[in-house]
């Protein structure tokens, strides 16, 4: 049946060409990037999970985790998005197979082949651990082996950044991962750190050496129980001939207590290199499962690769270790000392050749020449024996010079003068030691055999990072994404800025372009917009003049009418917000323009005494004018009761004799 999404173009850019793999939560397709004209891998989330925020979050987390890493042994992620109801992830396309495919075809690997696969896996994990990322799902399915032999770690979907405690934890009470490779602390407490990845990598090493995981069971719970309560089995119990050093490496990396495991993948890698050196295991190509017989042709390396005669001696140690698997000095090689000659040989019939005797009649000078030759051979043999004795005694030993603190070139010269070979050079950042100066040497002193290697670690100088000055004035989300790739500790501070829009970054402290140390605090100033503006004094001004003043400060002006006994008509009597207060930039300010004094209703004072009428009218804000005839009662008033007049308007009352 044709896959319905093959041929679909996502976001107008990625055309799905071929389905490569399918799992329970996602499907991987080969696709063409129409913009850059390249082939990529596109992982589509299963349709029934596309509306689940947890799984969408896992997809997004995988994109961010992988995007933080730039390492040749980590599958790179270039894009992530959703289109037409499909959530997708765009990744580097690795043509090849998984380690699981290789193990299913090969059964198991030799020690040399297992180390060849595990070293790049640990190298990629080292980069992740140094970036503060824990993979949490290391297993053969997530180890990709390209057709060119390049090994890459894939699927950071379960990856999490380390918290302040150096651990990650699952959420929602759901344990995620593959139980056959989960560490005891993940199974018991749901906690994981770099040592959890070390445990999983140790389980993968066990599986490569034996052909199967260490624990089996009818249910995942049974497998989990063994991880928590049992020590890891010994690989040599199942594969006789495996060196005890390899057993110790597997045991050391899969201890149930994480405190006694290597701290991270880098420490595991260093231990593996030590074992390789101790056993004298030569480096072999990464097994790709392909040979010259044709594509995908597999030849199990845990069985003899050529017919063996029954009388041939068997060396199971060499067969298990692979090429160069015997220890130096234990019959691995034979050589002839300088100046020696081969011993007596046999002829075709198995007899020793007859001794050459002088024939009668040989001239005297020939006999003297032969005698001198015999003496020379005796002296040469004596000198050779003496040289061998000197070499086996004190001659083969030399002293490792003091190298720490020396310039790299000077340290190499000192090693060569001492008859030692410089293994140069590992590099490491240092805050105290200048670039190019030796930080450490292994061995660091004492005696060593001439011709042996001395591993030098050279300072790269202080580790520094810079913030791109182009991030100033960019949106905060864009700046956060850029800073995610720099190991600094950003702290956001809101600040007013009259020129930078709200939500955009106004600057950094230390400022952009400054060399920063790892984990140094970086203050990110984020614009809150224009700072508030103080409302000016505009009361008593004309509306036009007040409006011009306010608009010059960025305010929007509205007008309203009011009445005031103190402000002349047509002038500003009040402003809201009040003068002297601060208001947001471009906010609205309302002007109240005086339409004259306040208006009042004339009270009814007819029939009242002159004193009562005067009190009522004055209380209403009116003036009182009295026209009096004989008497003390108000007979008439003007304006009449109930009329609305401006405050201060005079009211005339006619006082005369009262009427009963």
- Greater pLDDT, 338 or 624: 624
Q: Which residues contact 38 (CB under 8 A, 6 or more apart)?
A: 32
Q: Is 656 helix (H, G, I), strand (E, B) or coil?
A: strand
Q: What gap in Å lies between CA 65 and CA 597, rounded to an integer? A: 73
- Greater pLDDT, 400 or 47: 400
Q: What gap in Å lies between CA 217 and CA 228, rounded to an integer? A: 14
Contact between 422 and 415 (Cβ < 8 Å)? yes
Q: How confident is the model at residue 47 (pLDDT cuts 50, 70, 90)?
A: confident
Segment 616-628 mean pLDDT: 86
pLDDT digits 0-9 by tens, 201-218: 999 999 999 999 999 888
Q: What is the pLDDT of residue 101?
A: 92
Of 119, 117, 159, whose CA–CA distance to 140 is shortest? Answer: 117
| Residue tagged 């005839």 (tokens) | 629
Q: May I ask the CATH class of domain 9-91?
A: alpha beta
Segment 1-6 mean pLDDT: 80
Q: How confident is the model at residue 234 (pLDDT cuts 50, 70, 90)?
A: very high
Q: May I ask the CATH class of domain 469-527?
A: alpha beta
Just give the CATH number of 403-459.
3.30.10.20
Q: Which residues contact 97 (CB under 8 A, 6 or more apart)?
A: 144, 145, 288, 289
Of 86, 168, 161, whose CA–CA distance to 131 is shortest? Answer: 161
Could you tell me the two tokens for 66?
């992988």
Just give the CATH number of 533-594.
3.30.10.20
| Parallel/antiparallel/unpaired status of strands 96-98 and 86-91 | unpaired
Q: What is the pLDDT of residue 492?
A: 93
Could you tell me the two tokens for 1?
């049946």
pLDDT digits 0-9 by tens, 345-357: 333 333 333 434 4
Please state which of the four CATH numbers 3.40.50.1370, 3.30.465.10, 3.30.10.20, 3.90.260.10 is assigned to the domain occupying 599-656: 3.30.10.20
Q: Domain residues of the chain, as ranges?
A: 9-91, 96-279, 403-459, 469-527, 533-594, 599-656
Q: How confident is the model at residue 333 (pLDDT cuts 50, 70, 90)?
A: very low
Segment 91-113 mean pLDDT: 92
Q: How confident is the model at residue 311 (pLDDT cuts 50, 70, 90)?
A: very low
CB atoms within 10 A of CB 280: 15
**What's the order of all strands across the beta sheet hosting 521-527?**
489-495, 521-527, 505-509
Q: Which residues contact 299 (CB under 8 A, 6 or more apart)?
A: 291, 305
Q: What gap in Å lies between CA 468 and CA 449, rounded to an integer? A: 51
Residues classed as catalytic: 137
Angle at 606 between CA 602 and CA 609, to 5 degrees: 110
- Given a cut of 90, whether residue 300 has pLDDT beyond it is no
Of 175, 155, 152, 137, whose CA–CA distance to 26 is shortest? Answer: 155
- Greater pLDDT, 173 or 281: 281
Helical segments of 19-96, H only? 53-67
Q: How far is CA 521 from CA 128, 289, 505, 518, 575, in A?
A: 21, 49, 16, 9, 46
Q: What gap in Å lies between CA 400 and CA 446, rounded to an integer? A: 6
Just give the CATH number of 96-279.
1.10.510.10
Contact between 525 and 493 (Cβ < 8 Å)? yes
Domain 403-459 and domain 599-656, same fold? Reply is: yes
Q: What gap in Å lies between CA 135 and CA 128, rounded to an integer? A: 8
Contact between 284 and 116 (Cβ < 8 Å)? yes
Q: How far is CA 75 from CA 71, 201, 223, 394, in A?
A: 8, 17, 30, 52
Could you list the beta-strand ranges (E) of 348-452. 397-399, 421-428, 438-442, 447-449
Helical segments of 232-294, H only? 244-253, 265-279
Q: What is the pLDDT of residue 369?
A: 67
- Given a cut of 80, whether residue 320 has pLDDT beyond it is no
Q: What gap in Å lies between CA 254 and CA 270, rounded to an integer? A: 16
Q: How confident is the model at residue 339 (pLDDT cuts 50, 70, 90)?
A: very low
Could you tell me the two tokens for 436?
């190019």
Contact between 430 and 439 (Cβ < 8 Å)? yes
Stretch (H or E) spanning 222: helix 220-229
- Given a cut of 80, whether residue 371 has pLDDT beyond it is no
């Amino acid at each position: 049946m044709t896959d319905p999404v093959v041929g679909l173009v996502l976001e107008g850019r990625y055309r799905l060409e071929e389905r490569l793999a399918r799992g329970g939560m996602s499907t991987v397709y080969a696709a063409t990037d129409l913009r850059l004209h390249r082939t990529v891998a596109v992982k589509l989330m299963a349709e029934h999970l596309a509306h689940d925020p947890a799984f969408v979050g896992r997809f997004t987390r995988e994109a961010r985790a992988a995007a933080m890493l730039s390492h040749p042994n980590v599958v790179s992620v270039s894009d992530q998005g959703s289109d037409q109801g499909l959530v997708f992830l765009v990744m580097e396309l690795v043509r090849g197979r998984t380690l699981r495919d290789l193990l299913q075809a090969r059964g198991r690997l030799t020690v040399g082949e297992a180390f060849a696969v595990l070293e790049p896996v640990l190298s990629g994990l080292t980069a992740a651990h140094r970036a503060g990322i824990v993979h949490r799902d290391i297993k053969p399915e997530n180890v990709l082996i390209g057709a060119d032999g390049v090994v890459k770690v894939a699927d950071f979907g379960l990856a999490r950044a380390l918290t302040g405690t150096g651990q990650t934890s699952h959420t929602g009470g759901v344990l995620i991962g593959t139980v056959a490779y989960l560490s005891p602390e993940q199974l018991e407490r749901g906690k994981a750190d770099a040592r959890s990845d070390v445990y999983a990598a140790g389980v993968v090493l066990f599986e490569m050496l034996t052909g199967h995981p260490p624990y089996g069971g009818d249910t995942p719970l049974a497998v989990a129980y063994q991880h928590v309560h049992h020590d890891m089995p010994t690989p040599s119990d199942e594969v006789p001939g495996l060196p005890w050093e390899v057993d110790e490496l597997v045991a050391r990396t899969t201890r149930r207590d994480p405190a006694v495991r290597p701290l991270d993948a880098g420490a595991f890698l260093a231990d593996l290199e030590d074992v390789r050196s101790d056993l004298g295991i030569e480096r072999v190509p990464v097994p790709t499962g392909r040979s010259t017989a044709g594509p995908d042709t597999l030849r199990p390396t845990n069985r003899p690769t050529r017919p063996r005669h029954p009388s041939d001696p068997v060396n199971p140690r060499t067969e298990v270790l692979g090429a160069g698997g015997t220890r130096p000095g234990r019959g691995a090689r034979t050589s002839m000392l300088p100046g020696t000659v081969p011993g007596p040989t046999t002829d075709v019939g198995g007899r020793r050749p007859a001794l050459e005797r002088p024939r009668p009649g040989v001239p005297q000078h020939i006999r003297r020449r032969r005698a001198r030759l015999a003496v020379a051979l005796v002296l040469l043999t004596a000198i050779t024996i003496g040289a061998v004795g000197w070499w086996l005694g004190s001659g083969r030993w030399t002293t490792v010079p003091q190298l720490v603190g020396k310039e790299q070139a000077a340290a190499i010269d000192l090693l060569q003068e001492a008859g030692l070979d410089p293994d140069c050079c590992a590099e490491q950042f240092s805050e105290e030691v200048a670039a190019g100066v030796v930080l450490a040497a292994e061995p660091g002193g004492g005696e060593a055999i001439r011709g042996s290697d001395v591993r030098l670690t050279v300072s790269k100088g202080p580790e520094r990072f810079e913030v791109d000055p182009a991030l100033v004035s960019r949106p905060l989300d864009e700046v956060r994404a850029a800073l995610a790739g720099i190991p600094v500790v950003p702290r956001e501070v809101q600040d007013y800025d009259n020129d930078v829009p709200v939500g955009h970054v106004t600057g950094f402290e230390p400022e952009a372009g400054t060399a920063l140390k790892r984990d140094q605090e970086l203050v990110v100033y984020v614009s809150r917009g224009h700072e508030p503006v103080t409302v000016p004094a505009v009361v008593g001004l004309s509306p036009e003049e007040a409006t011009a003043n306010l608009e010059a400060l960025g305010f929007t002006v509205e007008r309203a009418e009011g009445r005031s006994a103190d402000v002349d008509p047509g002038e500003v009597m009040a402003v809201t917000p009040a003068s002297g207060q601060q208001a947001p930039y471009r906010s609205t300010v309302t002007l109240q323009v005086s339409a004259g004094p306040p208006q009042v209703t004339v009270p009814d004072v007819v029939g009242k005494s002159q004193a009562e009428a005067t009190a009522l009218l004055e209380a209403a804000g009116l003036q009182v004018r009295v026209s009096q005839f004989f008497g003390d009662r108000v007979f008439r008033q003007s304006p009449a009761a109930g009329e609305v007049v401006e405050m201060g308007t005079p009211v005339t009352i006619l006082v005369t004799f009262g009427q009963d």
